[in-house]
Amino acid sequence: MPEISPTIDSVAGFQVAGVHAGLKKDGALDFSLVLSEVDCAAAGVFTRNKVKAAPVLLDTERLAHNSEGIRAVATNTVSANACTGTIGLENARSTAEMVAEAVGVAAEQVLVMSTGVIGTHLPMKKIARGVELAGANLGSDWRATAAAIMTTDTRPKLGSVKVETAGGNYTIAGIVKGAGMIAPNMATMLSVIVTDAGLTVSDAQESLRQSAQQSFNRIVVDGDTSTNDTVLLLSNGMSGVSLSTGDELSEFQSALDALTRYLAQEVVRDGEGVTKFVTLDVINAATEADAERIGQTIGASVLTKSAFYGSDANWGRIVAAAGRAGTAFDPDRSSLSLAAGEAASDGGGGLKIFSGGMPTDYEEADAAAIMAQPSMTFTLDCGIGAGRATIWTCDISHEYISINGDYRS
């Protein structure tokens, strides 16, 4: 697997900035800009929520008509600009227009993203200030850029991977925000991924679609899907490496998958109030889709998440969640194992706590010791077919309630 760095040094042809525009009261960074020196082939995957924020609607439209000429992505925090009607769309377009003027590109070449409270309009004077500051401070500070898209995140989340080929080297790098309102399809998250490799629009879109399905669509913090979820991929070709053959695209896909998996897991690790990182490996289900649905159902269950928090190996909650997932599942043919850490076991390792419709004769103290670890893996062997999916989730703590009980205040 390609090695992921938790930092970003530089990506040829891209400049970034993260600034304080006055959106956040505490003076924290709150507005970001990513700019390419040349036109990019751009791709995007977006929320499947029927309630879509203005920036999602605008970006979807622009990618449909100008996916070969994207130059910039601007992101604001505090206001999601969702459920804001025609004014919200006008403000999203105005943001793009201000960015375009500041950096010397066409408005149609600018994508926008927003995160924050639903139903609030963008404070356009502060947005204008953010555009001005970001445009004047473009450089290579990716960490500041990642920090400037955070809401309830506790830390910036970013990563990169360098790929060496016979024809030259290229980099893929990405930033992501997300901590709560995280569920499959996708999660309350915004992410900008850039590469200085050259891709066609169709190859970029297919690579991103595949990668998101195996990463951002496999994480659960609380089971809620947002109005603003957006992952963008920009390819500018400034490394001089163009990818076209099957082997070249396969190598790119492997590197992109490793990066998006890393970023997605970082979202879970930084989830609101999270104290446990949990891997759910569902194997031998009827199909991959069934395995994914079972894993997502378990991962979103408040009861199972509460048990994770309490270090309680309550296998009954996990099996019950699997049984209501709406897929083929037979408890008499299933088994459930528990192990410390994050490595999936294919059902052959760990402490088996359920099998053949009944609990095993395991020792509760042994299970509790594993559950007390900061990370653990449950392997659910459905015993039906060859379908497999891995979901990454977490516990739910008192702090999650505290954060979301006064989110708008």
* Residues annotated as catalytic (active site), given as ranges: 188
Give the distance, in angstroms, between the CA of residue 124 and the centroid of all CA atoms in the same chain.
Answer: 27
Residue with tokens 């990405």: 174
Cα 54 to Cα 18, 86, 128, 148, 189, distances in angstroms: 22, 9, 18, 20, 15
Q: End-to-end alpha-carbon separation of the chain, Å?
A: 43
Alpha helices in 32-161 (DSSP H): 54-66, 85-103, 124-136, 142-147
Give the Cα separation of 125 and 227 in Å (integer).
24
Q: Taking Cα atoms as reference points, which of 151, 169, 168 lies closest to residue 160? A: 169
One-character DSSP codes across 1-65: -PPPBSS----TTEEEEEE--S-STT----EEEEEEEEEEEEEEEE---SS--HHHHHHHHHHHH
In one letter, which amino acid is 256?
L
Burial 376-399 (b: 16+ CB within 10 A, else e): bbbbbbbbbeebbbbbbbbbbbee
DSSP 108: G
**What value, to the nearest 5°, has the Cα angle with vertex 53 and ends 16 and 25?**
60
Give the Cα separation of 15 and 357 in Å (integer).
57
